[in-house]
Chains A and B, each alone.
Chain A
Amino acid sequence: MTQFVFTFLNGITLAGLYFLVASGLTLIFGLMRVINLAHGAFYLLAGYVSWTIADKTGNWLYGALAGSLTVAIFGTLVYVLLLRKFQYEELRVALITLGVSLVLAQAMLAIFGGEYYQTNIPKSLSNTIPVPGLGLSYPFFRIFVLILAIVVAIGLWLFISKTRYGAIIRAGVDDTKMVSALGINVQAVFTWIFFLGSLLVGFAGAVGGTTNSFGMGTDGDYLLFSLQVVIIGGLGSIGGVAIGSFLVGVIGQFATGYFPTFAGIITFAMLILILAFRPQGILGKKL
């Protein structure tokens, strides 16, 4: 029973982290049809930057801010300098971002080496909370991650579907020429979406670098998680990411806890099974 409850808690809080990681990917794709395969490398970059700043200043929040902003600016630069010209060639853009991830991974390896890092949990959040009925306690910070994910999910949904800016973004995607003709700078809108999407993965890197250790190879792992989440949930849908994160997080944790050898295979089998019936993912639009 104890193992069950803890596995579930681990799974659902991990799902929160996956949501934070994958929401940026799906936001950018859903609105711009641009798939950023440097997403895992962005996550890792944010982890390193946040760790460094948090270590220097002793303040977790400064670290998280620095990590998110660095990645947001870096991502925007990648978009403006390398991707914008080919935005409508999906595969070419995907390939260029893969190239970026290679260069970035190598640069980070050169600077930070092969060791693993983990940012310290901020003091005010480092307490544990009791799990009712079991007489055991669970680290509060992990619950905090889940709360953050829920806040971001609601915020994103409100922003995209309820605000004027969200309306401009959606319109800019559906009919770029018409929106430009209305006097809105669509290029600037796209640049902001890329900024926001990168900011999200940067924030995820700061948070994830506190709950889990990171280092060489983490970029590939988180690229895989994000791809699994968005493929299962449906690319481009925020709700899909929520469902995908929940499935990958919870089922992944149960698989790791109860059948460690087959953990990778079980998540993978789930992915195959879902795609066999819904190639576009659970909430994805029809291909």
Chain B
Amino acid sequence: MTQKRITYGVVILLSLIFPFITPDPQFWVSSGGTRALWLGVAALSMSFLNRNLGLMSLGQLFFSGIAGYIVAISSVDHNVKFGTSVPLAILAGTLSGVIIGFIALKTKGVYFFMLTLAVTLGLYSYANQAQEITGGHTGINSIPSPIIFGIDFAYVKPLYYLFLAIAILLFSLCKFLEQTSFGIALQAVRDNEDRMISMGYRTTYLKMLAFIFSSFIASIAGVMGVFYVTNISPASVGLIRSIDLLVIVVVGGATYLGGAFVGAVLIAVFEAIIQDFTSYYVGATGILFIAVLLLAPQGLMGVASQIRSRLNKPGLSK
């Protein structure tokens, strides 16, 4: 436990001083740090579900997309203030989790995965078609940055610290929830749902709550995305972006909450570096993804324990 606390302390400290120690801060704080935090929060909503319910969802971008489009449309087309539009968007994204969850939670495993993928692709095709609402293929551009207490978040460093605060808050919230009786019940449902039903738990209700919570995180990530990228288009909820998130979760380690951020940092840095050399970023990510799946299914967070178990194998087999 103390070792874990030290790790968290070091990571938080490093993230706090990162803008001051990195070379070329204008580029790396934004393309490395802020981007990783945004993608990390989006991936966190997937990791939370996978870890506690054993369900891999590609529907998280649907919630992000709903929230993102609401903020973008209301602020650009209708001049609504962020103070109103952001909470509304997060609420709407979270509530759409009720509808999707009602359907999706009836399925398991690869069906759940496919269904949530179809949900996201459905939003993509709608966003592409509904020109007059979503701006069609080009989407909605030049979304203004928020100004809170006189701080303009159009600047690189304020946005980074805002995202860092959100990320730490949500990560801690997930960790906290996992230790409550709710979280423990969830993990029990994941391991043996029938037994939990026979013990009198209303498992559908528990799963629904977890799903809604994950869509809440995804909605926040959607709003973060709008502020970071300053535009939103069907590509923001497209197949490639869905797979990007999946890559982050799997590469980082899908059964660890921290894996979301480890994966996000890795992918953000990978993207930033490879963009200078080649336009084959997507293909390169694909190869990395396949390699991780073939060689280290537990992801980077799991590599240490994977090596340990391999070293121990010749001696005592458990």
What is the total of A-B residue contacts with beta carbons within 8 Å?
117
**Given A102-B283, A220-B121, do A91 and B113 touch, yes or no (CB 8 Å)?**
yes
Q: A92-B297, A100-B290, A261-B129 known; A287 and B103 CB under 8 Å?
A: no
Flag if B118 contacts A271 (CB, 8 Å): yes
Report A-chain residues with C-beta under 8 Å of the C-beta of B113.
91, 94
Q: Does B109 count as interface, using CB distance less than 8 angstroms?
A: yes
Q: A interface, by DSSP: helix, strand, loop or mixed?
A: helix
Within 8 A of B (CB), among A212-245: 219-221, 223-224, 227-228, 231, 235
Q: How far is the CA of A100 from the CA of B280 in the complex (A)?
A: 14
> Chain A residues with Cβ under 8 A from B238's Cβ?
220
> Contact at B283–A106, with CB atoms within 8 Å?
yes
B294 touches A82 (CB 8 A): yes
| Interface stretch (choices A52-60, A159-167, A272-280) | A272-280
Interface size class of A (residues with CB under 8 A): 35 or more
- Contact, CB under 8 Å: B121 / A91: no
Tally of chain B residues near chain A (CB < 8 A): 44
Does B195 make an interface contact (CB < 8 A)? no
When the two chains form the complex, which single residue of B107, B119, B128, B283 contacts A103, counting CB atoms closer than 8 Å? B283
A224:B246 contact, CB within 8 angstroms: no
Do B115 and A231 have beta carbons less than 8 Å apart? yes
B17-61: which residues lie under 8 A (CB-CB) from chain A?
56
Contacts of A37 in B (CB 8 A): 117
Q: Are A287 and B108 in contact (CB under 8 A)?
A: yes
For B103, the chain A residues whose CB sits under 8 A away are 272, 275-276, 279
A224 touches B121 (CB 8 A): yes
Q: Are B289 and A99 in contact (CB under 8 A)?
A: yes
In the bound complex, what is the Cα–Cα distance between A107 and B282 (angstroms)? 10
**B74 lies within 8 A of chain A by Cβ:** no
Asked whether B126 is an interface residue with its Cβ less than 8 Å from the other chain, the reply is yes
Cβ contacts under 8 Å, B270 to chain A: none
- CB B295 to nearest CB in A, in angstroms, measures 12
- The residues of B that contact A35 with a CB separation of less than 8 Å are 110, 114
Given contacts A91-B113, A224-B122, A276-B103, whether A102 and B243 have CB atoms under 8 Å apart is: yes
A260 near B: Cβ within 8 Å? Answer: yes
Contact in complex: A228, B118 (CB < 8 Å): yes
In the complex, how many angstroms separate the beta carbon of A254 from the nearest chain B beta carbon?
Answer: 15
Q: B106 touching A275 by the CB < 8 A rule?
A: yes
Chain A residues in 8 Å Cβ range of B56: 91
What residues of A have a CB within 8 angstroms of the CB of B246 in the complex? 95, 98
With a CB–CB cut-off of 8 A, which chain B residues contact A96? Answer: 290, 293-294
- The answer, among B110, B124, B280, B283, for a CB contact under 8 Å with A90, is B110
- In angstroms, Cα B238 to Cα A91, docked, is 20
The answer, among A92, A95, A103, A265, for a CB contact under 8 Å with B126, is: A265
Q: B158: CB under 8 A from chain A?
A: no
Whether a CB of chain A sits under 8 angstroms from the CB of B9 is: no
**Any chain B CB within 8 A of the CB of A263?**
yes
Query: Are B107 and A279 touching (Cβ within 8 A)?
Result: yes
Residue pair A264, B126 in contact (C-beta under 8 Å): yes
Query: B residues within 8 Å of A by Cβ?
Result: 56, 99, 102-103, 106-111, 113-115, 117-119, 121-122, 124-126, 128-133, 238-240, 243, 246, 250, 280, 282-283, 285-287, 289-290, 293-294, 297
9 A-B pairs, CB-CB below 8 angstroms? A35-B114, A98-B243, A224-B118, A261-B130, A264-B125, A265-B126, A275-B115, A276-B103, A287-B108
User: Which 10 pairs show the lowest CB-CB distances between chains A and B?
Assistant: A102-B286, A106-B283, A279-B106, A103-B286, A264-B126, A99-B290, A264-B125, A220-B239, A224-B121, A268-B122
